[in-house]
Chain A
Amino acid sequence: MTTSVTSPLDRRRHLTGMAFVTPTLLVITAILVYPILQSIVLSFGTSSLDGSEPYQFVGLKHYAALAQTERFWNALGVTLTFTALSIPLELIMGIGLAVLLNESFRGKGIARLAVLFPWALPTALNTLMWRWMYNTDYGLFNAVALQSGVVDRPINWLGDETLAMLSMVVVAVWKTSSFMALIILAGLQSIPRELYEAGRMDGMTRWQEFREITLPLLKGPILVALIIRSMDALRTFELPFNLTDGGPVTATESLSLYAYKVMFDFIEFNFGAAIVVVQFLVIFAMSLIYILTLRNKD
């Protein structure tokens, strides 16, 4: 019995396909797959950066140490707090912006551009701009607050533990609500107009239209946006790096930033590898929830 793949016609197609895919798979393996695996290996042993000392397996030693390290638990807490605070705000802002941009009005092009800009600019530089506005002595916020008489002493936006976290959340919301908005907007635009016309025939108010038609049909896009953004928030790095350097003390030190410092300030690669493996697992769990939720939906 001959199968279709043995036909020379199909075989040529398959060979071409393999030839076309192979370079991509090589790059992805080299840059994404292999490093993850090596990070896992590193996290179970000791080694030197230049390979002068042979790799020694130490089992769960680094993970045990990690569990004893308060700064790690702090970083995990900061990361989760940051994610839990910023995602709902981004979602609300995103839905609002999307509904706004779905209306037609003059000057909409500018409004859309305004929404796109914060996303398009480098987070690192966005963060610098905000840091400048947050500046205690010369920043815009304190200038306005002091001059208008709301406060009589400058607010230390980035120097107070709670305020620093909130300030960081504000920057994240400012930057990424636009991304949420764009995805939700695409979802909005795929809702057939006839549904709203039918709703109007049924006597729905605008709010009822939103509740009964828009929101239920936006579930899919909202879920996608939520997941993509959550994964981003869980690996946030340059935001605390540039805004507060994790401070005051470690009040805004995310897992990524902590891992980076362990690896490149303290040059403890094996311990750092254990941190990134844990972070990877957190994000992996997140994407599993993602996939399972999507599957349940279908």
Chain B
Amino acid sequence: MTRNRPRIGLYTLAIIASVISFLPIIWLILTSIKTTAGIYAWPPQYLPAPVTFQNYIDIFTKSPELLLYVLNSLIVGLGTTIVSLSLGGMAGYALSRLGMRRAGVLMVFILAVSMFPPVSLLPSLFQTFLNLGLLNTYTGLIIAHTGLFLPFSVWMLASYFATLPKEIEEAARMDGMGFFRIFWSIVIPLSWPGFVATGLIVFIHSWNEFPLALVLMTQNAMRTAPVGISLYPGEYAFPWETISTATVIAIVPILVITAIFQKQIVGGLTAGTGK
């Protein structure tokens, strides 16, 4: 066996995998910078000729609701992240560090309920939210998303806290801090990598969540990006020039976050599964 052959094979495979991964995104971006005629041309235009940003201009001028969807997603995503990290951090700390009785049972309970399929929550959640006036509110969807992603946050943060040396918190006890203060001024500053990883994944999950966002936000102006764009098409034809452009706008925040924080995200996703 020569030393070079496997290397070449490796690169070939890596390139093929990367191309397949990126292909739909690239094709989408190419579509978004074609003219309408170019999109529906035969023979097909693989590369846009001419390149145009008219679709982007159109979105900002003619279809501002698409931008509203992105804004809604941002508000819901950030709200969910903040609430999940706050509640999940406190619960994770209590369960990993405050020596609670039945902490193990509670952790398993939290894990078990997180396996509930979201659609099975819908009949009840829809009615409850309807009666409480929480449909079409940011608060409502933030609460719902927090419920979906809290179990993950609790588990992630609890396992992060478990890696901190216990003695630091004990030293703080000896120094005279109460539990709240220890959590606030010792544990949180020391755990920010855990909070960052958890927060990123919760944000991405919330941004991507579909069934609850679809059902709990019935007004067009309140829809999140994935739902709004999916429901955007008119009665008969799919306006692909608008859809592709809106999709690009909606995924750019996620692409940027993923690219910047890929280490933290990968670390968070795989924590505890490798054993």
Of the residues B113, B131, B259, B270, contact of A113 by C-beta under 8 Å: B259
- Are A14 and B274 closer than 8 Å at their CB atoms? no
Is B236 interfacial (CB 8 A cutoff)? no
Q: Mark B141-161, 1 if CB is under 8 A from A, else 0.
A: 001101110110010000000
Closest Cβ–Cβ distance, residue A170 to chain B (whole Å):
10
- Are A113 and B258 closer than 8 Å at their CB atoms? yes
Residue numbers in A under 8 Å from B204 (CB-CB): 120
Residue numbers in A under 8 Å from B28 (CB-CB): 129, 132
Q: How far is the CA of A132 from the CA of B229 in the complex (A)?
A: 14
Question: Contacts A23-B87, A117-B22, A121-B251: A186 and B270 contacting too (C-beta < 8 A)?
Answer: yes
Is A133 interfacial (CB 8 A cutoff)? yes
Closest Cβ–Cβ distance, residue B162 to chain A (whole Å):
15
Of the residues A51, A103, A123, A276, contact of B117 by C-beta under 8 Å: A276
Residue numbers in B under 8 Å from A108 (CB-CB): 14
- Are A24 and B90 closer than 8 Å at their CB atoms? yes
Is A264 interfacial (CB 8 A cutoff)? yes
Residue numbers in B under 8 Å from A183 (CB-CB): 269-270, 273-274
Of the residues B17, B95, B110, B259, contact of A100 by C-beta under 8 Å: B17
Q: Output the nearest chain A residue to B127 by Cβ-Cβ distance.
A: A49
Is A209 interfacial (CB 8 A cutoff)? no
- Are B90 and A21 closer than 8 Å at their CB atoms? yes
Is B217 interfacial (CB 8 A cutoff)? no
Interface centre among A16, A32, A277 (most CB of B within 10 A): A32
Is B74 interfacial (CB 8 A cutoff)? no
Of the residues A32, A111, A234, A238, contact of B210 by C-beta under 8 Å: A238
Residue numbers in B under 8 Å from A96 (CB-CB): 13
Closest Cβ–Cβ distance, residue A82 to chain B (whole Å):
14
Q: Mark A173-207, 1 if CB is under 8 A from B, else 0.
A: 01000110011011101100000000000000010
Closest Cβ–Cβ distance, residue A37 to chain B (whole Å):
8
Residue numbers in A under 8 Å from B210 (CB-CB): 122-124, 237-238, 241
Count how many chain A residues have C-beta atoms less than 8 Å from C-beta atoms of the other chain: 102
Question: Contacts A187-B274, A279-B117, A283-B115: A105 and B24 contacting too (C-beta < 8 A)?
Answer: no
Count how many chain B residues have C-beta atoms less than 8 Å from C-beta atoms of the other chain: 95
Question: Contacts A115-B17, A272-B123: A242 and B230 contacting too (C-beta < 8 A)?
Answer: yes
Of the residues B21, B226, B269, contact of A118 by C-beta under 8 Å: B21
Q: How far is the CA of A259 from the CA of B146 in the complex (A)?
A: 23
Which of B55-63, B98-106, B191-199 faces chain A?
B98-106
A241-274: which have CB < 8 Å to B?
241-242, 255-256, 259-260, 263-264, 269, 272-273
Extra 16 A-B pairs, beta carbons < 8 Å, given A34-B124, A123-B226: A14-B98, A14-B99, A24-B91, A28-B150, A35-B124, A38-B127, A120-B255, A120-B258, A128-B229, A130-B24, A132-B31, A190-B274, A237-B211, A238-B226, A260-B122, A260-B215
Give 27 A-B contacts (CB < 8 Å), ordered by A residue: A12-B179, A18-B94, A20-B91, A24-B90, A27-B143, A27-B147, A30-B143, A30-B147, A31-B121, A31-B148, A35-B121, A36-B121, A38-B124, A49-B127, A100-B13, A105-B14, A114-B17, A117-B21, A122-B208, A122-B226, A132-B240, A135-B240, A138-B39, A256-B119, A260-B215, A269-B123, A272-B123
